[in-house]
Structure 1
């Protein structure tokens, strides 16, 4: 695949303004224009699904710690010691460019009709290289040469993605030595561990170019659906969206869902599980499943109009219509047998691997779809008794309210983020970036262990009760 720099992009749908990334050697430098970072975009051509060829779209942003005016070979040591993050949105069917423009990327799309694009002050590429991928085929700009052919299982998906990474690093070898972290949110709670497992296995078999995998990070992951659906029902009941009799009806229907899972009837389980989710929402007046404080989902706004404009597609070397879906459409339909499958054993394998891969799992507290409780119970099962005994810190601001609640044991870190829905980098951009960098660079989560304070409160309560009894 050829090297394809992105020197600039339109700053709105109408292309009346331009945002510049780094100097274009073929053009005279324009005075006073900020150069943010080196950027590349385009397609990696891979095999599959089936006999077809597919084209997976990527958009890369070099870390802002690097100098976009200086050739890579003149800052080799800096580039290679900088972590490279892969970012994947979920869905299935969501484009990772939504994460780029709405969550953790160097660009932000405005909610105005013009679709104005601005530079974000909260980008994750301030201290790390970030590589956004649209996958599987049918998500975003990515497509298959054979029409109406989509990925049907995670094994195929992960192999295609590994091939895409091989093509990327063949083209951009200056980033091959970078510590590599596979990151994502939501349904990427499945994508991420399957891809990391594939990289781990291919490295072990010496197939292809060795990739410097160091860890994974997942936000509000759809990992163990059997657990997440139960937790959603309980959350909705505790939050007042369900009455006692309504919860009882859903609990009764949940038994059929569990039986389908146990029987391995995965397509039926997906229908029943989706039905339970939709029933919870209907009982609750159709609150936002990703943020119980809202009635409307986050919108991609003007992104479709912007990303499907001729000027933008030319700038980023895209050759297909940009598409976005969330657990709907052909991508989700093809993965129907996968949607309710349990991916938690893969996390256990990665956590306990001899390489001691670093793992970060974080959650926004108001997400009802893939929230804190399911993540906590998954980790308790994987980490056994040690997890419950590990300190859970209140990660605090210098003054004011907590930033989060943090527990670390061995190579695993979990963060619960208050005042946040499903898309944590959207709701808490500065906190999520600090969280990520603390984890990446082994910086401390400054906080308080409340155990001593809590014990003093309980002891005082017991003392008062004893006095009262006397």
Structure 2
């Protein structure tokens, strides 16, 4: 029987759903915004975050959770077992009452008073030996509860705010959310600080749950977590080699539709847009004129540059490529919709997440039910969060991470591969914002001892239910998977295929069929 997983999910005061900035402006003509002041560029990024919040139908009453210093207990880790009432469907293998579902707060060291909220879902099957999987949503600015209730958590939130069991949840997942602090200085501003907080949490977690410390451990996530995941994997691996703290049995990490190497990924946007017929060849030629300045600016945004103007300038310049693609695509789709080979491409107001889908005005995904559900008195009581308000997205948190947005985190991955730590990169084929083409390019360009062999590896079909659900390339510890019929959020678009992917990858063979059927039998 295939293994199930124990799943960790967070509210870190640092996370978001999307990969990088969303569109602004609607002009169909190609243009380059004039260089602006630092304050103007910061306002540019904030406006993009606020637009994202509207597109997801998330309107938090608070920009960040600031609570009195003595709002919660002073112990390092405070955790409680919980269960939600009235789950509509049965859990396979265990009743809802018997499940090991936990929610807790961790008091972050090296902060004034920050408390990180997390969920922990024990495996539905073999809790003693099954791997522990941590899920991180990206961004930065929205809570990981988005993934928990709409992607790969044990529940799915229905339209009437009831919970239905998710047969393909990854337990057989904070800045925002219920995390809080009493001082804004505690909001994190770069990948190093985030990885340090997560590592400190894991040390406390495995001290509390020592029975899981020996289990295989995997780091997973999507989007801007393409920054956090390599940073955390590198941090854990370094500490393990130094024999410091509790040994965490890190076996691998997986990034879905991630933003990891911005300089390469931004400059792949024109190629992907042309390939998907979102733009014409003449548009492509003009867009490519913007690439050199984006590449040059991104190279100036290097580790140790937190707060420096170079990183802000890089995001401002590289966004010109993306913004112009959306403006051009909008014009083409209005004029040539009937002629397009891609008749599923309807309106540029949604193409950055999934080019097949259409937004209603500014609303692209309606995640508002999550906020309503999590702020219900009965839910807050079950989770033990008191009167802390759930904050879905925060432009303040996004701004705190602004100088980290264009950082290249690919550089920490080769040493992990050389030491046998496995890496899976996967991407839904219809996502524009963190598209599969840009991800495949930085992976192919990554310098490590297996680079040549990986580049020469054959493409192998990933088959689910007798149909090709994706195509993979692999050599040694490195695997890339292009997922069919999926956009930015693969576990939401293809829940069964994503669970098959994780299951088979952990067992070492993406081409082995039938793992989920065994899991659910």
Which bin holds the TM-score, normalised by the shorter protein?
0.7 to 0.9
Q: 1:78-157 counterparts in 2 under 5 A? A: 79-110=127-158, 112=159, 114-126=160-172, 132=173, 134=174, 138-147=175-184, 149-157=186-194
- 1:36 shift after superposition: 5.9
* SS class of match (2:189): coil
* SS class of match (1:143): coil
- 1:290 shift after superposition: 1.5
Distance 1:20 1:318, change over 3 A: farther
* SS class of match (2:188): coil
State TM-score, norm by structure 1: 0.80
- 1:341 shift after superposition: 1.2
* SS class of match (1:258): helix
Count of residues in correspondence between the two structures? 403
State the alpha-carbon separation in 1 of the partners of residues 186 and 168 from structure 2.
37
Match of 2:369 among 302, 308, 311: 302
Match of 2:492 among 412, 420, 426: 426
Does 1:373 find its partner at 2:431? Answer: no
| Matching residue of 1:52 | 112
| Matching residue of 2:40 | none
State the alpha-carbon separation in 2 of the partners of residues 311 and 241 from structure 1.
46
Q: What are structure 2's unaligned runs of at least 5 residues?
A: 1-75, 302-309, 331-348, 514-521
- 1:289 shift after superposition: 0.4
| Matching residue of 1:185 | 222
* SS class of match (1:322): coil
**1:143-174, Cα deviation, whole Å (9 max, x unpaired):** 23313642111111111111111121222212
Distance 1:434 1:299, change over 3 A: same
Q: What are structure 1's unaligned runs of at least 5 residues?
A: 12-16, 23-31, 67-78, 127-131, 448-470
State the alpha-carbon separation in 1 of the partners of residues 398 and 141 from structure 2.
6
Does 1:7 find its partner at 2:53? Answer: no
**1:1-45, Cα deviation, whole Å (9 max, x unpaired):** 45633332245xxxxx789999xxxxxxxxx96446211111111
Does 1:405 find its partner at 2:471? Answer: yes
State the alpha-carbon separation in 1 of the partners of residues 95 and 226 from structure 2.
39
| Preserved contact between residue 8 and residue 20 of structure 1 (Cα < 8 Å) | no
**1:281-314, Cα deviation, whole Å (9 max, x unpaired):** 2222223301111233333230011112222122
| Preserved contact between residue 191 and residue 231 of structure 2 (Cα < 8 Å) | yes
Match of 2:205 among 168, 174, 188: 168
| Preserved contact between residue 8 and residue 19 of structure 1 (Cα < 8 Å) | no
| Matching residue of 1:41 | 103
State the alpha-carbon separation in 2 of the partners of residues 431 and 385 from structure 1.
29
Does 1:332 find its partner at 2:414? Answer: no
Higher relative contact order (CA 8 A, sep 6+): 2
- 1:336 shift after superposition: 0.9
Distance 1:2 1:47, change over 3 A: closer
* SS class of match (1:404): strand
State the alpha-carbon separation in 2 of the partners of residues 329 and 256 from structure 1.
27
| Matching residue of 2:73 | none
**1:322-359, Cα deviation, whole Å (9 max, x unpaired):** 2233xx71222111111111111112221112xx1111
* SS class of match (1:228): helix
Does 1:280 find its partner at 2:336? Answer: no
- 1:398 shift after superposition: 5.5
**1:404-449, Cα deviation, whole Å (9 max, x unpaired):** 11222111222111111111111111111011101112345148xx
Does 1:260 find its partner at 2:302? Answer: no
| Preserved contact between residue 291 and residue 368 of structure 1 (Cα < 8 Å) | yes
* SS class of match (2:434): coil
Does 1:63 find its partner at 2:147? Answer: no
State the alpha-carbon separation in 1 of the partners of residues 91 and 499 from structure 2.
21
| Preserved contact between residue 281 and residue 287 of structure 1 (Cα < 8 Å) | no
Does 1:219 find its partner at 2:256? Answer: yes
Does 1:158 find its partner at 2:206? Answer: no
| Preserved contact between residue 106 and residue 125 of structure 1 (Cα < 8 Å) | yes
State the alpha-carbon separation in 2 of the partners of residues 299 and 352 from structure 1.
42
* SS class of match (2:324): helix
| Matching residue of 1:208 | 245
| Preserved contact between residue 351 and residue 357 of structure 2 (Cα < 8 Å) | yes
- 1:81 shift after superposition: 2.1
State the alpha-carbon separation in 2 of the partners of residues 193 and 378 from structure 1.
14
State the alpha-carbon separation in 2 of the partners of residues 203 and 385 from structure 1.
29
* SS class of match (2:392): coil
- 1:395 shift after superposition: 2.4
- Superposition RMSD on alpha carbons, in Å? 2.4
